[in-house]
Amino acid sequence: MAALIAENFRFLSLFFKSKDVMIFNGLVALGTVGSEELFSVVAFNCPCSPARNYIYGLAAIGVPALALFLIGVIWNNHTWNLVAECHKRGTKNFSAAATFLLFGSIMGRASVAPITWSVISLLRGEAYICALSEFVKPSSLDKFPAEYGADVLAKVPCRDVPANLTKFRDEVTRRLRYESQLFGWLLIGIVAVLIFLTKCLKHCCSPLSYRQEAYWAQYRSNEDKLFRRTAEVHSRILAAKNVKQFFGFVALDKEEKELVQEFPVEGVQPSPQWNAITGVYIYRENKGFPLYSRLHKWAKGVEGNGPTPEGHELLFLAS
Q: What is the pLDDT of residue 319?
A: 42
Q: What is the pLDDT of residue 39?
A: 55
- Tens-digit pLDDT profile for residues 216-231: 989 999 999 999 999 9
Q: How many CB atoms neighbour CB 253 within 10 A? A: 8
Profile the chain (319 residues) by mean pLDDT over runs of 10 residues: 41 40 54 58 76 90 91 86 74 66 83 89 90 85 75 82 77 91 95 88 80 90 94 94 93 91 88 86 84 92 57 43
d(CA 109, CA 103): 10
* All residues at 6 or more sequence positions from 117 whose CB lies less than 8 Å from its CB, including other chains: 32, 35, 36, 61, 64, 65, 68
- Asked if 7 and 187 touch (Cβ cutoff 8 Å), the reply is no
pTM of the full structure: 0.70
Residue of 135, 183, 130 lying closest to 155 (CA atoms): 130
d(CA 223, CA 258): 24
- Tens-digit pLDDT profile for residues 124-157: 888 999 999 888 888 778 777 776 777 888 888 8
Q: What is the pLDDT of residue 30?
A: 58
Q: What is the pLDDT of residue 97?
A: 66
